[in-house]
Structure 1
Amino acid sequence: MSKSEKNKLTLWISRITYKAIRKAILDNRDRIRQEIYETRELYELLKKWGAGDRLTPEEKQAVRTQLLDICKAIPAIAIFAIPFGSLVLVVLFKMLPYRILPTAFHPPTQKE
């Protein structure tokens, strides 16, 4: 394969990756906004705790949930660093349990 062909292949893969990421962001726009809001809420709770204030049990649970969500998201982001990472991510999401996604990406549950 010539250098020109390799460059074309790389450009083609980059375009596919860009389109896949763009589509995922557009499809999940509201969920991403929700995750950003929850992360901001986590920041405020950690700031409160760091100032010496006590957290309520509900606030402690919110902190736990958000920290777990962040831990779930970090490996997904790191996968993009490997070659064909976007394809690997799709395969992993199909193979791993649904709960690997942050809570903002789960369908709402009805509380009785």
Structure 2
Amino acid sequence: MMAGDPVLSLRVSEIKDPTALFERYSTEEIRRVERKVRGEIEQKKEELRQMVGERYRDLIDAADTIGEMRQCSETLVESIQDMQQYCHTLKQGRNCVGGTRQEVPITLLHLL
């Protein structure tokens, strides 16, 4: 391949009519064009693989985060329900005439 080779400066996106290639270039030059095009195809395939891999990792990270958020919200809801139950128990203890003092439910210990 010579310096300033018109085939190497040819852009793949500029190739509109394959027939024109055969009219303008020799067989050897067309083979160089083919090698160049195949090389660019392989390069694009690799770029696509990397991009898909990155997006897949992003998707997995997002799914993990959503799972953690779900678990956290479930724990929060359980804690609020425990607090409501405890408040209800306290109200019943006050309303109970001559009743004994109510003990704090064990389930509230995880809130501390």
TM-score for the superposition, normalised by structure 1: 0.31
Structure with greater contact order relative to length (CA < 8 Å, sep ≥ 6): 1
Higher Rg of the two aligned structures: 2
